[in-house]
Structure 1
Amino acid sequence: MSTITDQNVIHVDFGADERPKYVVLEGAIRAAITRGDLTPGTRLPAVRDLAWRVGVTPGTVARAYSRLTDDGTLDAAVGRGTFVAEAGVRSPIYRELEALEVDSTPHLTGGDSYMVNLLSPHLPSVGQVDLIRRLLGEIAANPPSGLMHYPAHANERLAREAAQHFLDHPALGPLEVDDITLTNGGQHAISLVMQAVLTGRRPAVLVEDLTYPGFRRVAEMLRADVIPVATDAEGIIPEALEAATRNADAQLLCTSPDVHNPTCTMTPESRRRQIVEVARASNIQILEDDCYQMERSELPTYRLMAPERTWHISSIAKTISPALRLGFAMAPRTHRISLRRAAEYSSFGMATPMSDLAARLLVDPALPGLMADTRKVVGTYVRTAAQVLDGFELHCRPDVSFMWLVLPRGWRASSFCRAAEGVGVKLRAAEEYAGRDANAPHAVRMSVNAGVSLASFEDAIRRLRDLLDQPPEGLGV
């Protein structure tokens, strides 16, 4: 590993180029790599250091670094810095996409496997596959919406009525059919909300200091600044939220109050009310991500407490199946048209066979029982992990398909993940949920993988227990 010592290695002239400064800086770094002035493994200056050297804001450097990291030109590691990537290294965005594939697992539930992927949840098949196959067959034989025209909002009404039935709950507040916009999964819902909300040249999106990476990815894609907000065991700290809104054009707070991803914590009602007070005083909107919990909470949602500024999103990925990419977004009543237009302008709407499927699946009388059986199986896997890891700090809930393991002293998250992969288990390090310059805790997130048998899952957790008990020499500290 080497570090830049010659401050003139990166040649950049902002005055002679009319493009945005972060684009100019990005090109200068690429040119230095192409010339061989920056070789693979070279550590680049810290964001603030390079900003001072070339006379731009830290945000400009951070954006240039982020774009270069996304395409694999640079490699960033929390706590170590930003480096010129080695040849052949995949960029983080591709690693994230690859991680969604549950490799080395059977197509259905219950197979035995030594390799166990705990990167993303894999739900058990308890009958929903057969139900979906049957409904798809009926739709293919006689598609109610036809197959020869574009989707239209009016033609999705039956699907939105089914979604209203599926989502309706006192904690969500009054729900009308026209409140619901169908989306291609929860991530698409996040993108649509940000497109509908963010305005101006440099809008800012507020996120928890550890948060779902999809919030950051969409915000950066829309050229918004991402500002982390400190949290504690009850979620976002109201004073930290208020402070974060002072020096930026803060427009949207992204949060998951019922199930925080990745720490599995829940924000109590009293804290939620404090956050609503800050949001109103600072005039920011709230994106409430409700995609993780498998059983509805009785706590009031932000949509119920602050309906004038809450954009609520949900999906069936953690309750029925992630394969269908079926999600829902609900805007404040005064912004329903903006959200609907964002959906129509981005894709013209949901594919008609999918809206036909949603119209039947979400009201099928067998669905509540299947979802209850899914929760029961996931709960069994979670309790098994908790028993094997007894004595360690494991945050988990039987109705949530991932867990948060705080590592004992001596382990770093990245080292533990490498050691775990060496014994056939894939995990996510805490740094994947932290900002570029943040100090991530030494912890890992592991998901329930019910695509393998309970015996295979338990064996994988026992291998992790062995690592925790006896860290290999040189990998700890």
Structure 2
Amino acid sequence: MADLHVPINRDQGGIAGQIAAEIRASIRHGRLAPGTRLPASRDLAADLQVSRGVVVEAYEQLVAEGFLISRVGAGTQVAPTSARSAMDVVPASGPVYSPHYGHRPTSPDLGCFPRERWLASVRHVLTTMPSDVFDYGDPGGVPELRDELAGYLRRVRAADVRADNLVIVGGVAQGISLAVQVLTQRSRRLRLAVEDPNSHRQVPLLLRAGAELVPVPVDDQGLVVTELRARGADAVLITPAHQYPTGVVLSPARRAALMEWAAETGGVVLEDDYDAEFRFDRDPVGCLQGLAPARVILSGSVSKALAPGLRLGWVAAPAELAESMRQARGELDLGSPVIDQYALAHFLRTGGYDKHLRRMRREYRRRRDALVKAVAEHLPEVRVRGIAAGLHAYLDLPPGSDEDAFVRPARELGLAADPVGPTRLTPGPPGVVVGFARLPAHRAAEVIQGLKVRMSGQNID
């Protein structure tokens, strides 16, 4: 069992992140060879004079990243293929974040990925499916997965969808991009209304797909639907269940008005259902597609529920549009990985997906509550909102605040945080989006208190 040299800075905070970073660096530079057995979490905690939970947290993160492996009875070891030289490490081109808390406020906790159950689904596919199914398949997705997803979306999201209306894609981004391409090809000019503020990471793909973007404001009831007619929109991209970044839920009156606009104008609604399964303080909100399946294109994925790296998503569209998107997917890259599609179908069919969502819903609620409590205690001048669902919180900063003055120290402490400014197409009040999915509940107070200390002397207002 290796004796580890793990220096930590107790004044800096983020102890688990520091431990993980030191072990990761030792593996990358060859100081810890593949197969090396690490000290038990209890022993290392005693050596470092920290709580055992902090070491467990660091180990779990490195297991999730593939640097370590942990087996019952065998302890924790350096993974066989994890050693990399310093020359193999590509320097980051932007801000350096602590991997434990992720790079985006909407990222799930990848350390909670249900590895055993997913592995069981993959094993089932590899041992039971005939070899022919691993050939080039339908670019729209394997029938088994579309069947399971259709049932799931009807049951959980109140969607009006059949397997024939579904196209399997590589995530919401690709689904929306394909939909915009198809719509643009049909009309040669697509004025696409987008929420303001919105997910600025989607803007380049929308422009590349050929859309002309029209900003429409968002208020405390969601998208201001009356602006769609005034601005001559042909289609609208919307996040109605949990608007990004504000967290607002589209009100019943606005939902009805949006459906009326679509019916009267022939407009198309692109519904980004990116994190609707995670709700905490509200009743379930059905998707818009269930209200008007002939006018709404619904996009979703497992990126928030399981892991973005799976690159598995879906689009539910009217039959003619679904067929056009299936053809476009075939022309683009011949479809999604077949084995992963069958594995997800098995995971859904055997209840693994529902069980994982229930467990993570409880855990994310604990983490959200801890963050909200810590902000109220240590940063009372900051207002928290948009937290009834999803994986992020919207923080209203005092008028005149510098968003970057908040974001920089937050990131240095390992908190996933983004300024709201870049998400706006028109100027607005200062705010910050903060993710809580990767912030353990027992660390929230420490991180927010550390943020307050770092910001002392440089008022955010």
Q: Same fold (TM over 0.5)?
A: yes
Distance 1:219 1:284 in 2: 17
Alignment of 1:427-438 (within 5 A): 427-435=417-425, 438=426
CA–CA distance in 2 between the matches of 1:208 and 1:333? 27
How far off is 1:142 after superposition?
5.2
User: Deviations 1:82-116 (Å, cap 9, x if unpaired)?
Assistant: xxxxxxxxxxxx97xx78x97432xxxxxxxxx87
Contact 2:262–2:268 (Cα < 8 Å) also in 1: yes
In the alignment, which of 150, 154, 158 is matched to residue 144 of structure 2? 158
Aligned to 2:99, which of 100, 104, 107? 104
Whether 2:216 is the aligned partner of 1:229: answer yes
For the structure 1 residues 359 and 145, does the alpha-carbon distance in structure 2 shift closer, same or farther, using more than 3 Å as the test?
Answer: farther
Within 2, Cα distance between the matches of 1:197 and 1:206? 13
1:146 deviates by 4.3
Change over 3 Å in CA distance of 1:241–1:176 after alignment to 2:
same
In structure 1, how many angstroms separate the alpha carbons of the residues matched to 2:395 and 2:452?
11
Summarize deviations over 1:121-157 as a string: whole Å, max 9, x none. Answer: 2326456121112222343455545476212258711
1:252 aligns with 2:242: no
Task: Please give the alpha-carbon distance, in whole angstroms, between the structure 2 residues aligned to 1:150 and 1:364.
Answer: 26
Structure 1 pair 103–424 and aligned structure 2 pair: CA distance change class (3 A): closer
SS in structure 2 of the partner of residue 168 of structure 1: helix
* Structure 1 residue aligned with 2:443: 456
Distance in 2 of aligned mates of 1:353 and 1:340: 19
Distance 2:445 2:136 in 1: 48
- How big is each residue's C-alpha offset from its partner over 1:362-420, in whole Å with a ceiling of 9 and x where there is no partner? 21223322210111111000000111112431014354111100112352212321243
List per-residue Cα deviations over 1:239-277 (Å, max 9, x = no partner): 2222111xxxx3320001111011111011111111222
Instruction: Provide closer, same or farther for how the CA distance between residues 243 and 464 of structure 1 changes in structure 2, counting only shifts above 3 A.
Output: farther
Change (3 A) 1:201 1:160: closer
**Is 1:129 paired with 2:115?**
yes
Query: Structure 1 426/256 Cα, relative in aligned 2: closer, same or farther at 3 Å?
Result: closer
**1:126/1:370 contact within 8 Å kept:** no
Name the counterpart of 2:202: 215
8 Å contact from structure 2 (residues 160, 293) kept in 1: no
- Contact 1:315-1:326 within 8 A present in 2 as well: yes
Q: 1:136 to 1:202 in 2, by over 3 A?
A: same
Q: Which residue of 2 aligns with 1:88?
A: none
Among 144, 169, 176, which residue is 1:190 paired with? 176
Tell me how far apart the structure 1 counterparts of residues 134 and 409 of structure 2 sit (CA, whole Å): 53
Letter in 1 for 2:215: P
TM-score (norm 2): 0.71
> Of residues 315, 320, 331 in structure 1, which corresponds to 2:317?
331
TM-score under structure 1 normalisation?
0.69
Greater shift, 362-371 or 149-158, is seen at 149-158
2:404 equivalent to 1:414: yes
Q: Is the 8 A contact 1:135 1:360 kept in 2?
A: yes
Matched residue, 2:268: 285
Per-residue CA deviation, residues 313-360 of structure 1 (Å, 9 max, x unaligned), is 111112222221111101123422112212222221122112221221
In 2, the alpha carbon distance for the partners of 1:198 and 1:299 equals 30
Query: Structure 1, unaligned stretches of length 5 or more?
Result: 1-93, 106-114
Please say if residues 209 and 228 of structure 1, whose CA atoms lie closer than 8 Å, have aligned partners that are also in contact: yes
Instruction: Give yes or no for contact 1:260–1:266 (8 Å, CA) kept in 2.
Output: yes
| Aligned positions, number | 362
C-alpha displacement of 1:424 = 4.5
Unaligned runs of 5+ in 2: 1-91
Q: Distance in 2 between matches of 1:155 and 1:329?
A: 11
Which letter does structure 2 place at the counterpart of 1:472? G
Cα 1:295–1:449 shift into 2, 3 Å: closer
In 2, are the aligned partners of 1:207 and 1:254 still within 8 Å (CA)?
yes
Deviation at 1:233, TM superposition (A): 0.4
* CA distance in 1: counterparts of 2:417 and 2:344, whole angstroms: 32
In the TM superposition, residue 471 of structure 1 has moved relative to its aligned partner by: 4.7
Q: Which residue matches 2:41?
A: none
Kindly indicate whether the alpha-carbon contact (under 8 Å) linking 2:141 and 2:335 is maintained by their aligned counterparts in 1.
no
Q: Which residue of structure 1 aligns with residue 254 of structure 2? A: 271
